[in-house]
Amino acid sequence: MPTPPFGVMLVNLGTPDAPTPQAVRRYLAQFLWDKRVVDAPRPLWWLILHGIILRIRPGRVAKAYQSVWTEEGSPLMAIGRRQQQALIQTLAERHGQAIPVELAMTYGNPSLKEAGLKLRDAGVERILVLPLYPQFSRSTTAAIFDGLARALKPCPHLPELRFIRDYHDHPGYIEALAARVREHWSAHPGERGKLIMSYHGIPKRYADRGDPYFRHCEETSRKLAQALGLDEGAWMMTFQSRFGREEWLKPYTDETLKTLAKEGVEHVDIISPAFAADCLETLEELQVENRDYFLEAGGKTYRYISALNDRPDHIALLADLVEQHTKGW
């Protein structure tokens, strides 16, 4: 079998191994201890994390995971595996030979180390790291960079690496999002709702210190609105999933939905361009929790537009990114 010219490491955030308090506790302990995610002083944060958060939060989060868990397991993992297999097939068709693609998670399993070892066993000497985060943030994409560096540290022989930082304004990404929204509108003719583009939030001080995430979200939103031909008043950008007491990026999704309903907005469609795959934050938080907020405040119609997942146009975009960033290999 010929040596592959390169391999791809497809990386997402991660998921518990099971929807149980014990598995969620292990996952949160790793996730929330990362200084890229929470940069509080370590001794104080250790006491808060292990003394309070990991005692209270796992049970509640486990119940939320149970509500979205499938026969295939975590939605994020199941969709990630489908994305991996579809990308393998697409790259093989384009290159005329098998290109190894391994799925990895920054936290939990399969780990970055495990994925790297599988690529090594496949004879890969060059690795393209493709984070499934369209918009860059220190708390997501940069955390992958750190984790991969730690995983490679003990290796006596390092592969050649290339790292995709973001693709927030890539034409293929914008068009895939626009196509998904158009399909949603076609499936629900009649009253078209105000389009809410909800992104996972980050602490505001991260952006104040130079994290480009807010700017990337703005650019994605603006380009998607242009592709859909939306007037300024027909859409808006919000931020969800805040954690803790400090100020995060605003406007907040949940508070915005309540306000819109009270102001007389009866119909909303909501999509989250920050997520490449549906997960707890979309299937439970956006599809269920925020729907309740809007309807209880007086709204009439609330429709969630699913993530790009393993749609053919999304896989084609990922393959385009791979080809763009592996030129010369």
Binding-site residue numbers are 200, 281
On whether the CB atoms of residues 108 and 27 are closer than 8 A, the answer is yes
Question: In whole angstroms, how far apart are CA 298 and each of 58, 263, 271, 294?
Answer: 32, 9, 20, 7
Q: Which residues belong to the annotated binding site for Fe(2+)?
A: 200, 281
Question: In angstroms, rounded to a whole number, what is the distance separating the alpha carbons of residues 122 and 320?
Answer: 22
Task: Give the gyration radius of the chain's Cα atoms.
Answer: 20
Give the Cα-Cα-Cα angle 1, 83, 9 (nearest 5 degrees): 55
| Residue 51 DSSP one-character state | I
Question: In angstroms, rounded to a whole number, what is the distance separating the alpha carbons of residues 20 and 25?
Answer: 8
Task: Answer whether the bond into residue 251 is a cis peptide, omega within 30°.
Answer: yes
Long-range contacts of 23-31 (CB under 8 A, 24+ apart): 23/62, 24/57, 24/58, 24/61, 24/62, 24/65, 25/54, 25/58, 26/108, 27/107, 27/108, 28/53, 28/54, 28/57, 28/58, 28/61, 29/54, 30/107, 30/108, 31/107
Question: In angstroms, rounded to a whole number, what is the distance separating the alpha carbons of residues 199 and 252?
Answer: 10
